[in-house]
Structure 1
Amino acid sequence: MDVIRSLSSREVTPITTVDMHTCGEPTRIVIAGYPSLSGTLLEQRTQARAHHDHIRKRLLLEPRGHFDMYGAILRQETELTYGGFADIGVLFVTNNEYSTMCGHATIALGRFLVDTHDLDVFPARESLQFDSTSRTILLRLHAPCGLLEVTVPTSQDGQRSDASRPVSFKSIPCFTTALDLRVNLNLENRWPELASRISIVADFAYGGAFFCLVSAAELGFSQGLTNFNFEAMNEATRRLKAAVNSDPDLAYLFQHPESNDLSFLYSVIVVDKRLGLAIGNSKGAETGLCFFSDQEVDRSPTGSGVSARLAAAYARGDLRENEPWTYHSLVSLHNDKSSAFVGRVLGRDNVSDSGRFPAVRTQVEGRAFYTGYHTFVLESPDPLGDGGFIMKDFADSAVPKSS
């Protein structure tokens, strides 16, 4: 303990986190030690990227994290908390960027924010309203994509979350930008499993972030998400994302109607609709594998991706309002089926309807669990401690010549 106290007193401010997982996908929640930010939540996101990105790297990358680590930075003051519309804000961080929405982290945050009674961490905690009939608390979370309504099951007295029941969130308006769109691939962006094909067909939709939704078979993996080469799938999705991003005629697929800060293609989700066991009262099930940010692999079914898939299924006519559907990841498929997410379309959002496809509000539910509590320190002589590193980058770059 003397060593811990000594390290915590060094000149670099320690950063405290609570770690959780949702269907195996980590969320490192920053609760203390992060520098102050100001302005709107999107302005805070810009400031974090411009001035404090080394902290994102320090917390998420090696040696404290890993390539697929995910994080959430609590923001007690945003324009929506000032206006009384939100209880707290959050910034989401990945291995190379600041994402606009994250469903698995929202589910984890729901539990943590109900469990904490530390008013320095969550000043509005004691103002949350407890529904004794349903034993739930409604939390209003301000994410970069907008306001999320999170329903957290609780103990009998509402003082703690109930880990045995799922957390759910109601989405911001979600919409589809294309169904069955043919994406042409130049020679540089093709992959071996395509054989002689020069294009693929995919859907594009927004669930707080923009997603490309494509079947495994369409990518050339005939056995779907069973017995496939993981590295080959990673390469195929990387090249597909590059092909979409490099074609200016496809920029409309990820253009947000209200904010350029939200206008980028976040992820490719590979879908296998033949796989999965329906849980609860779901009408059916499917499985997805999400490659997001810099080819991070989501262990969970991806909450924002589920919202996008719900919007696309509704636009296609495959799903009706309030019809529950189970969404598996490879983790829930091969381990605990109850870890899957259940999603449903709550209804159309007529105010946000634009273009060819309807905007909808969705609900996604899942369960999250605690894994640890950390105080991260930085010793000033440590040459590797501040920015962090990604091990695979060393294989992709030339070795510096010795002087």
Structure 2
Amino acid sequence: ENVPSFRSAKDVRVEVDGVGPLTGDVAWGGNWFFLTSTHEYELTLDRVEELSEFAWRIRQALQRQGITGKNGAEIDHIELIGPARSSNADARNFVLCPGRAYDRSPCGTGTSAKLACLIADGKLKPGEVWRQESIVGTVFEASGRLVGDRVVPRITGTAYITAEATLILNPDDPFRTGIRP
């Protein structure tokens, strides 16, 4: 299970440079997201650079216009939503993360945020399954249960180990756990 997730604002309008107005939802799924399907982009891997630039413009516009998550939290993830390309998915997404990196997976926190929006809109009932497809075609299966006004998501999918590291913390190093002011 992921963190209790929720939508904090619906149909938020943002003016994006070079694009014009678009609308989307602001939601928490473990990170703050702006989720939008009001775009004309096809969510395909060969368009990653174009999608990244578009999502980055959205993020900059949100910051300039003072659109934030709850308590002024920065919205640092942009989730573009489009039709699924696979018959075993309900939708496809492209997620721009901090540092202008994109998520190759359907994004667990993004799927959690999307689930909260779907349940809030009555488009998905608690316990029903939603399948989110990533920009590379991988799929997460998600469902959620209500706890008060929050959705607690349960997400399954496949992950792969891509690195392994050994951290050596020398007891004589005064900064072995990092530098903190």
Q: Which bin holds the TM-score, normalised by the shorter protein? A: 0.7 to 0.9
Counting matched residue pairs gives 168
* Paired-residue identity, %: 26
User: Aligned to 1:311, what secondary structure does the other structure show?
Assistant: helix
Q: CA deviation at 1:239?
A: 0.8
Q: CA deviation at 1:369?
A: 3.0
Match of 2:105 among 290, 293, 300: 300
**Residue 175 (structure 1) aligns with:** 6
1:349 and 2:147 aligned:
yes
Match of 1:266 among 76, 80, 91: 76
Contact preservation (8 Å) 2:45, 2:135: no
User: Aligned to 1:237, what secondary structure does the other structure show?
Assistant: helix
1:312 and 2:108 aligned:
no
Task: Indicate the structure (1 or 2) with the bigger Cα radius of gyration.
Answer: 1
Q: Alpha-carbon deviations, 1:234-267, whole Å to 9, x = none? A: 111111101101112x23xx125xxx7xx22120
Compute the TM-score of the two structures, normalised by the length of structure 2.
Answer: 0.82
CA RMSD, 1 decimal? 2.2
Q: CA deviation at 1:228?
A: 6.1
Match of 1:321 among 112, 123, 126: 126
Contact preservation (8 Å) 2:84, 2:133: no
Q: CA deviation at 1:370?
A: 3.2
**Residue 31 (structure 2) aligns with:** 209
**Residue 49 (structure 2) aligns with:** 231
Amino acid aligned to 2:70: Q
Q: Alpha-carbon deviations, 1:115-153, whole Å to 9, x = none? A: xxxxxxxxxxxxxxxxxxxxxxxxxxxxxxxxxxxxxxx
Match of 2:135 among 320, 325, 330: 330
Structure 1 gap segments, 5+ residues each: 1-169, 279-283, 334-338, 354-358, 378-403
1:363 and 2:154 aligned:
yes
**Residue 246 (structure 1) aligns with:** 64
Output the CA distance in 1 between the equivalents of 2:116 and 2:47: 29
Q: CA deviation at 1:227?
A: 7.8
Match of 1:199 among 10, 16, 21: 21
Output the CA distance in 2 between the equivalents of 1:178 and 1:325: 21
- The structure-2 alpha-carbon separation of the partners of 1:240 and 1:204, relative to structure 1 and needing over 3 Å to count, comes to same
Contact preservation (8 Å) 2:7, 2:27: yes
Contact preservation (8 Å) 1:277, 1:326: no
Output the CA distance in 2 between the equivalents of 1:360 and 1:313: 10
Structure 2 gap segments, 5+ residues each: 169-181
1:276 and 2:86 aligned:
yes
What does 1:11-160 correspond to in 2, within 5 Å?
A: none
Q: Alpha-carbon deviations, 1:318-350, whole Å to 9, x = none? A: 10111011111122x2xxxxx42100112x221
User: Aligned to 2:76, what secondary structure does the other structure show?
Assistant: strand
Q: CA deviation at 1:171?
A: 2.0
Amino acid aligned to 1:370: I
User: Aligned to 1:319, what secondary structure does the other structure show?
Assistant: coil
Output the CA distance in 2 between the equivalents of 1:176 and 1:363: 17
Amino acid aligned to 2:96: F
- The structure-2 alpha-carbon separation of the partners of 1:270 and 1:375, relative to structure 1 and needing over 3 Å to count, comes to same
Output the CA distance in 1 between the equivalents of 2:135 and 2:10: 25
Amino acid aligned to 1:255: K
Q: Alpha-carbon deviations, 1:344-379, whole Å to 9, x = none? A: 112x221xx3xxxxx2111111222334534589xx
Q: Alpha-carbon deviations, 1:61-106, whole Å to 9, x = none? A: xxxxxxxxxxxxxxxxxxxxxxxxxxxxxxxxxxxxxxxxxxxxxx
User: Aligned to 1:361, what secondary structure does the other structure show?
Assistant: strand
Compute the TM-score of the two structures, normalised by the length of structure 1.
Answer: 0.39
